Chains A and B, each alone.
Chain A
Amino acid sequence: MELFAYLDPGSASALLAAVLAGIAGAGAAIRTYGAKIKEKLFFWKKDEPAAATPAASAAAPSDSSDDKPAEK
């Protein structure tokens, strides 16, 4: 039987939360800056309509569209 009585029950969770924040933060950064890098790598496609996407994501740094609060 596992006993948690002596432990701060949040210690493992806090570690996991820190790791997950790191992963999610990196993911968000990749989504934001990845778009910018892609824009630079494929600079010749700049004038095509697809190039509108990076501009939109740059306007909302580190946040993708489905991160936004749901409209009520």
Chain B
Amino acid sequence: MANAEPGSFRDRDSRVVITDDAILRALSPEGAGDWDALAASPLLEDLVNRGDLIPTKEVDLAVLNGSTDLLPSGVTRVLEHQRVPFISYPYEWTFSMLQDAALLQLDLGIAAVDQGLMLKDATPYNVQYQGANPIFIDVGSFETIPEGLPWVGYRQFCMLYLYPLLFQAHKDIPFHPWMRGSIDGIQPIDAIKVFSLRDRLRRGVFLHTSLHARLDRRANKSGPGDADAPKKERTVKPEAVKAHMASMRRLVAKLKWKTGETSWSGYRAHNTYSDDDDKAKQKFVAEVCAADKPALTWDMGCNDGAYSRLAAENSEKVVAFDFDHATVESLYRSLKAEGNTQILPLVGNLADPSPGLGWRGLERRTLSDRGTPDLMMALALIHHVSISANIPIAEFLDWVQDLGSNLLIEFPKRTDPMVRALLANKQEGANADFDLDNFEAELKKRFNIEKREELPSGDRVLYLARPLS
């Protein structure tokens, strides 16, 4: 069965097609011409070997089972891409992840010009992460350089890369809600409102934001113009386009986000665990992963990633989620320094997971639509879900059951110091379902408890539970 990927309709010369066992790309005659130009240049092999571009090969048209009407001008060529283990989106990345994706986008754009090619767009949705390594996935973005045109992806680059990075770097405004709020990113006229006069003197802000917004406003005031009027010929040389991208690269590379200390970033150093509890927990996690060898593990509430790393010793891939941006940023930086391609760190809130976005709500998929884990780890998490976010224990377990995942969960009793702190501001008897006996009863309704271990402090219990079949 060959299904067109609902999020890849925008480019009429290239469409991603998903079959049971492959990720394909259908190309129109024009798209095939651009692919031939890329394949004939040394760029393709070079980028794939460097891990910058998704490995891609041509396959027989027959794999589409006759679905050659996927593109308006027909499909003449089919490519097969290597599968990305877990799809993530820029509103789940940290500042440095978005910055590194931007630099990859620009590096590819600059390298393409040298080969008589150009990238037809500039969107972070064309970049995916394999662990801490960004990789460009849209081979269909490469086209033969359009004569005389400026950098065609410039506006898109500003809206989806530059403004979010400037917000975080100069104003410490998290870019995630903006990116999640609009699939096309931040408009220049909105971006400029965020910057003060002083900010406008910072590198790049005046040119790419103030001037950009001013020109947008002027174009808006002058109306749509005369459709029959002769078009002004612009002749921008490829070398100038390359210089434009190179100057943007210098700007982006210099941006820095001073993360500061959040209540979570120093968690490891001053949490409420005893060393004995920590050791017992490490042993439990290591044993479960060694026995299960999960293909995909989700570590929900990963904090500094210590348990994600432990799980990674026996998991093929680990996705490490935490809702604290600064904590995940620090994890990403350390994984990047190690060249880790196994652990993918993401910013995410379990109580408000990424929704479906864009046309028909299908262009960007919900978290669970992008693949479910073989093992979910929820260590030191359930009390935050239940007490802070008020999500009923039974509903949380329903969610994990729906994912069909095995569950490694830590339950802190009501006597645990952290639980008492969370309950301190609540009314007497609040969150009554947050109770060990109730938790175990609800767990047994949905899962088979294979392992149960009380930690030495006596305040916390660990479980390995498998869904009832």
Interface of B, secondary structure class, is helix
- Whole-angstrom distance between the Cβ of A59 and the nearest chain B Cβ: 14
Report B-chain residues with C-beta under 8 Å of the C-beta of A63: 242, 246
A21 and B110: CB pair below 8 A?
A: no
- Whole-angstrom distance between the Cβ of B122 and the nearest chain A Cβ: 11
- Whole-angstrom distance between the Cβ of A3 and the nearest chain B Cβ: 7
Interface string of B192-234 (1 = CB under 8 A from A): 0000000000000001000110011111100110000000001
Residues 18 to 72 of chain A near chain B (Cβ within 8 Å): 18, 20-22, 24-25, 27-28, 62-64, 66-67, 69-70, 72
Task: Give the segment of B147-155, B280-288, B395-403, B456-464 that binds chain A.
Answer: B147-155
B220 and A16: CB pair below 8 A?
A: no
B155 and A13: CB pair below 8 A?
A: yes
Report A-chain residues with C-beta under 8 Å of the C-beta of B234: 14, 18
A25 and B223: CB pair below 8 A?
A: no
B219 and A12: CB pair below 8 A?
A: yes
Report A-chain residues with C-beta under 8 Å of the C-beta of B218: 12
B155 and A10: CB pair below 8 A?
A: yes
Report the separation of the CA atoms of residues A3 and B216 in the bound assembly, to the nearest whole angstrom.
Answer: 11
Residue from A3, A6, A18 whose CB has the most chain B CB atoms within 10 Å:
A18
Report B-chain residues with C-beta under 8 Å of the C-beta of A12: 212, 215-216, 218-219
Report the separation of the CA atoms of residues A14 and B154 in the bound assembly, to the nearest whole angstrom.
Answer: 8
Report A-chain residues with C-beta under 8 Å of the C-beta of B50: 72
Report the separation of the CA atoms of residues A62 and B247 in the bound assembly, to the nearest whole angstrom.
Answer: 11
Is B52's beta carbon under 8 Å from chain A? yes
Is B381's beta carbon under 8 Å from chain A? no
Report the separation of the CA atoms of residues A72 and B215 in the bound assembly, to the nearest whole angstrom.
Answer: 37
A64 and B51: CB pair below 8 A?
A: no
A67 and B110: CB pair below 8 A?
A: yes
Report the separation of the CA atoms of residues A28 and B220 in the bound assembly, to the nearest whole angstrom.
Answer: 33
B51 and A72: CB pair below 8 A?
A: yes
A7 and B243: CB pair below 8 A?
A: no
- Whole-angstrom distance between the Cβ of B138 and the nearest chain A Cβ: 18
Residues 143 to 189 of chain B near chain A (Cβ within 8 Å): 149-152, 154-155, 158, 188-189
Within 8 Å by CB of A22, from B152, B223, B240, lies: B240
Residue of A nearest to B52 (CB): A72
Report the separation of the CA atoms of residues A10 and B152 in the bound assembly, to the nearest whole angstrom.
Answer: 9
Report B-chain residues with C-beta under 8 Å of the C-beta of A72: 50-52, 133
Residue of B nearest to A63 (CB): B246
- Whole-angstrom distance between the Cβ of A22 and the nearest chain B Cβ: 6
Report B-chain residues with C-beta under 8 Å of the C-beta of A17: 150-152, 154-155, 236, 244
Report B-chain residues with C-beta under 8 Å of the C-beta of A70: 103, 107, 253
Interface string of B318-346 (1 = CB under 8 A from A): 00000000000000000000000000000
Q: When A9-B155, A67-B250, A69-B111 are in contact, do A25 and B220 touch as well, CB less than 8 Å?
A: no
Residues 35 to 89 of chain B near chain A (Cβ within 8 Å): 50-52
Residue from A12, A14, A15, A22 whose CB has the most chain B CB atoms within 10 Å:
A12
Report the separation of the CA atoms of residues A1 and B75 in the bound assembly, to the nearest whole angstrom.
Answer: 43
Report A-chain residues with C-beta under 8 Å of the C-beta of B215: 12-13, 15-16
Is B409's beta carbon under 8 Å from chain A? no
Report B-chain residues with C-beta under 8 Å of the C-beta of A20: 150, 154, 207, 244, 247
Is B293's beta carbon under 8 Å from chain A? no
Report the separation of the CA atoms of residues A22 and B242 in the bound assembly, to the nearest whole angstrom.
Answer: 11
Report the separation of the CA atoms of residues A41 and B235 in the bound assembly, to the nearest whole angstrom.
Answer: 33
Report A-chain residues with C-beta under 8 Å of the C-beta of B216: 4, 9, 12-13
Within 8 Å by CB of B212, from A16, A22, A67, lies: A16
9 contacts between A and B (CB under 8 A): A4-B220, A13-B155, A14-B152, A17-B154, A18-B150, A25-B243, A67-B249, A69-B111, A72-B50
Closest 10 CB pairs of A and B: A25-B240, A13-B155, A69-B107, A67-B246, A17-B150, A12-B215, A24-B243, A17-B154, A28-B243, A21-B240
